[in-house]
Structures are given as structure tokens and as C-alpha cells.
Structure 1
Amino acid sequence: MFRQPRQTQPDRFSMRLGTVLHPLTVIPWGPLALSYLGVPIGVGATMIVLQDHDYTSAIQKLENTGFTRSVLNRNLAPEIIEDHPTPQQMLEEINAGYKRVDRLCAVFDYPCGDPAEKGLQRYSQNKQYDTYSNLHYPLEPILVESFVKAAIDEETDAGFSAWGELLKCWVSMITAYLEVDNNILDYCLDKQAVGWYSVRFGRIHEAKFGPMDRRISKRLGSGKELPMI
């Protein structure tokens, strides 16, 4: 898989949420943010981050516009479940890996209808976010920092978990596909986050195992693709 071009417009799911939640600050996160930066990743559940003091207001806005409270559906394919001796136990074990994030998040189903996509034009770009109205797409440094801090919190609270491993996977994808340098968190004042990244992906990791091979991340059409064998 090759890196995709960085987007220059917000995705339609975030646009809809931005319209509904305006004027609250909305930060697309997880796969949405990775896809915006050019990581070739499928977007399943739409994930956004809000400021703590906007959380209750955001829930009210979503409910008032037809969004319904729900739970994430992690059911496996029927052909897998029907051959498993204890399918309910298997599902409980899967959900246990996301216990902490499920506790801290609110989940909604989108209402029927087309997203409202008008009136959102890019007007600001700074060192941390690309901004479209009240939508703020995090750029590489701030996104890596947020994933790392979430991973540290998950490890501290739950130890090993599926959610913690997914966060590490996202950091790895940014590091590989987006060709970030091993000093991407040098600006960060959180020394624990800097150390966590350095040991797993940054300077300490490269000193021990050598530089990461990032050739897979060459953009399609750049003339620098790997040769076909």
C-alpha cells in the first residue's frame, strides 16, 4: 500500500458533525485524522475529540438533531460465530479489551439523510492543525502526542488491552507512512510521552534496532516507488 496525498478538504462525516456541533471545537481523531494526513486506512467508526467542558452540550446537540445513543458493534461474522463453541464469551472477551475507552466515550448512530457539506472552507493552517470553520484536523506532531498519551493512560489503567495495541498501531502507521522524524515529540513538555515514543519508535529504538525502513511510504506517482519484481 502507498501513502495517499494529504487531503485539502474535510471528509463528509466530519463536515456533518462540524455543522451539527457548531460552534463547538471538533477535532477528528483516530482513522479520520490518519486518513486526512495520507495514511491508507479504512474509516469505520467516526471518532472525534471535544473539549471536556463541551461534552454534555455536544451530546445534547447530537440528540436534538436525530443522532441516537448506541454502543459499538463488535460482533464477528456469522460464519465465525456459528462455529465457535462459546460465541458470547468470545464477544465479551473482545469488548473487555476496549473497556476503558468505552467507559470514557459516547457512541451515536448517524441519522438518515445526506450530510450537510456546504459552507465549510479552509481558512487557517498552523503548526498543529488544519482548520475548517470549527473542525480542527491535527497534524502529525499533535496527533502522535495524543495517541502516545492515550496509550500511556491505557497501559497505566488497564495494562495490556486491544485498545492500547490499536493506539500503538496508529503511532506505527504515522511513523512509517508519513515519514515522521524520530524527533517528532522533542517539542513536547511531557517527558513520559517523549520517553515512551523514543523507546518504541524514536531515537532509543533506532539506536537499538537501526533506522526504520520507510520505503513503503513513497507516494504513488512520485517517481520513487519501489521497483516491481
Structure 2
Amino acid sequence: MEDVARRTPAESAFNSNHATTKAGAPMIVVQDADYPAAQSLLAKAGFQRSVPNRNPHPVITARHPNPEQMLAEINAGYQRLDRSCAVFDYPDADPAEQGMQVYLFPNAFAHAFDGRNAPQNETRAPEAAAAAAAAAAPRYESYGNLHYALERALVESFVRAAVEEESETEAGGFSKWGLSLQSCVAMMNGYLEVDNDALDDCADARVVDWYSRHFGRIREARFGPIDRRISKRLGSGREMPVDMRGNPI
């Protein structure tokens, strides 16, 4: 994501707050009012407006009787996501970036800034900017007007998006995008210091309940603590001497 920030107008032209995160592809989140301007700046920097590239491997496509139908079924699971973001292809100048894409989101969809202690525009007075940065320190790592969401802000962003996906998606709230969000939260809960009380202070009861049912206290009450041992076959006696977080077993 650092490469995205350097190669897009993020540092040179973005004068508004934006957060960066990664969930399978580089993503940039900007404040809602700056969403149109951010799209224009990316285009001026050589990024080409595109659509999400979810094409399977050519070998799979060649063997499938109806490749177009297969791709349509894949994309159907990401309808809300695709309606809510702008996707750009990387410039063609660097062969190493061929085929790469960047996703641009308004904060209304990504919820990267919660409104209470979100980083503010770095063009403010130095004292005010320093105070805002200190307040946001537990949630973001900031470099100028680039704000990288840390564990607490990132997991809340994913959970908020998952809650909205379930409530607004047909077929009982099931979608590939919703499963992707849940997988991201699962990895953060497993490998990072994101415990069952991570979202206890969140004002949205739906977010607290969702996290508790899937990874928090409600889940632990039903199934016991999450097993974070690392092994291809748990119980084989070949588990690693440390768990997913690096703690000795």
C-alpha cells in the first residue's frame, strides 16, 4: 500500500484525509466530500478507470463450458461492493505493476473514520493537528495526510461493512463479499492482538453483537476459546511450539 500512496497523488495532491487498508487489493478510503476529487486526481496521475478484475486463471477459463456465466456468478457476490467504489488500473509504466488495481472508497461505505477521533486535514494549525494526531494514535498511524488504520480501527471498519452487507443483501445476507470480510476479521483475531473485547466501546450495538457472536464472548460461551494452534492437522502432535500470535504453547 505504501507504493500506492507514493505513486498516486496521495502525498502530492490529496489535501484531505484518507485512510489506507488492504484486503486482497490496495484500497484507499477518503472522506465522502472528497470522493469525486480523489477520482479525478487518480485519473490525472495515470490511473485508468476500470472494473474489478476477478477473472479466474486462464487454464480454468479454457476448461469451463461457459466462461462468461462463470464470471457473472463470481461478480454477483460483490454487487454492493462494486456499486460503492471506484476501481482503477495501475499505470502501464512499470511492468511489475501490470494487472494491479486500486480500489477507492468513500468513508460512508468503508467506515474507516468513526467521527469521534478521526484524523483531520493536516493543513490545520500545527497545534490542532498535533492534538488530533495524539487523540487518533491508538487507531491510526499517520504520515502527513495518510492515515493507516491500526487493528482497532481496521477490525471495526470490516465489522461495520459486514453488518451492512448482511442487512442489505438478498439471499439471507449471504454474499462472497460478506464472507471475505468475515475472513479478514478471523485472520486479525487469530494473528493479531484483537481479543474478544476489541469492540466493547463501539457505540453501534449491531457491531458489538456481530463481533461477539462470531469471535467474541457469545462465541466463546458456546464453543470455548478459539484454538490458535498452528498445524496442518490439529491433534497430530506436530503442532508448532507457538500459537498464531507467537505465544508459547
Q: 1:130 to 1:68 in 2, by over 3 A?
A: same
Task: Please tell me whether residue 13 in structure 1 is matched to residue 32 in structure 2.
Answer: no
**2 CA distance for matches of 1:81 and 1:170?**
27
**2 CA distance for matches of 1:20 and 1:164?**
34
Task: Please tell me whether residue 163 in structure 1 is matched to residue 180 in structure 2.
Answer: no
Alignment TM-score, normalising by the size of structure 2: 0.72
Cα RMSD for the two superposed structures: 1.9
Alignment of 1:104-183 (within 5 A): 104-113=84-93, 126-158=137-169, 159-183=173-197
Deviation, structure 1 residue 177: 0.5
Task: Please tell me whether residue 103 in structure 1 is matched to residue 83 in structure 2.
Answer: yes
Q: 1:83 to 1:105 in 2, by over 3 A?
A: same
The equivalent of 1:30 in structure 2 is 22
Find the residue that maps to 1:60 and give its secondary structure. helix
**2 CA distance for matches of 1:113 and 1:54?**
27
Structure 1 alignment gaps of length 5 or more: 1-9, 32-43, 115-122
Larger relative contact order (Cα-Cα within 8 Å, sequence gap ≥ 6) = 1
Find the residue that maps to 1:156 and give its secondary structure. helix
Find the residue that maps to 1:107 and give its secondary structure. strand
Find the residue that maps to 2:63 and give its secondary structure. coil
**For the Cα contact (< 8 Å) 2:11–2:146, is it kept in 1?**
no
The equivalent of 1:200 in structure 2 is 214
Alignment TM-score, normalising by the size of structure 1: 0.78
**For the Cα contact (< 8 Å) 2:159–2:185, is it kept in 1?**
yes
Aligned positions, number? 193
Q: Deviations over 1:153-204 (max 9, x none)?
A: 1111112110000000001011001032100001100001000100111000
**For the Cα contact (< 8 Å) 2:17–2:145, is it kept in 1?**
yes
1:154 maps to a residue whose letter is E
**For the Cα contact (< 8 Å) 1:25–1:134, is it kept in 2?**
yes
**For the Cα contact (< 8 Å) 1:30–1:170, is it kept in 2?**
no
Structure 2 alignment gaps of length 5 or more: 95-129, 230-242
